[in-house]
Structure 1
């Protein structure tokens, strides 16, 4: 009897050891924060992560090293703007020109700068746009050349496929299709072409980095295999004036002057992308 009990105990022990040795210890799946996911994405492209800023810091971020905020007062009824050039006139541009009666507002969505700028830009031309509706009318894609990337409530400073924003072509398409404006999106625009639009009394939306600071572009491949150049802190501003030394732009309802070289350093990151009102 004692031998049987001993053998039974030994068998149970062996069974226990055998079952234990066959089990693989469970390793919990690491849960990465959104900041960590973005950091790793940027590192894959040898980028340096800039801290994601809060919405309250939007206007000033990232940095204002080369832009000087200015106060632009509206023209009185008795005042007139500098005469605008027309096609019939000489092609020589005036040395300076400023569009005075244009006003903006602070964007509503954390990364809805494009809808906000479209609202202010269209309002100048007498077209009423609801910022919320315009945002909802934008197509959605993981490629900003084709549609809005991610949630408009996402944090600013990310890159696709995470919440990012949208480039010029989809914005122009919505302006044409839904609001009857002859909006035209372009890349490789030039400073002279911007000046010509301004001198004609037509503000230009430009795709820059932050509040016109430098950035690093890199190529992103979308789910369909298309390649697009993107950059962290993609943003848009509205160019409203120029002189011999600098451009004036509006960012979230505030006006800034910036020297050409610093503006071009920011504007060139996304390929001198712009949106303007084309001739009929």
Structure 2
């Protein structure tokens, strides 16, 4: 579900972390009892949360494979990358283009610790300790030593992470700042948690915000996500539940979620 909010500090195991909760929902082991307890509460509000997490991960895999194989993209910025989950973005992209470069961006302490050992693994991967809202820092660190060439197409990934931002952090403006830094022919992948059910939106937002010590944003509505794509050319199948985005034969049929879903798509920078 993404991992943003606040400033980097020592790993705090007394309150849940969105990154560690997401890890647990995906069947990972990089989580603590406090995270598991928070997930159990989440499941009472939204029983499909596990399926949603898996669907989100499969979408990320499909979209990176598409960008690498069909669009020829060899540079990636993975904002709010979260804890390592195989296949990671660089493993997918480099399986298509050995020279592909991936910069992972996150600010959660446990993600930083594991990211530097498990994601920053060769001279074509880099881990950047930064908030995704700090576009200048992200671009500066990604471009350092010519790692990412912003004069050439880049794929900026914001997959299942924007709901970690509060409205006051102005996620739409963040998207537009990054869009302005990208070369023509770049791509932006944007999706976030939405629900038509006001109760689910309110209860999940309250649970996650209180549980993570205020390091969470909110479940939004589809119209909010549509606004993020202003000025971008959205690719077919346009904006939708991510389970409907170019389904392939590599994954079993995704379970449909009912209380909420991940809504978004892929767009080209012209």
Query: Whose helix fraction is larger, Structure 1's or Structure 2's?
Result: 2
User: TM-score normalized by structure 2?
Assistant: 0.30
Please report the TM-score for the alignment, with normalisation by the length of structure 1: 0.29
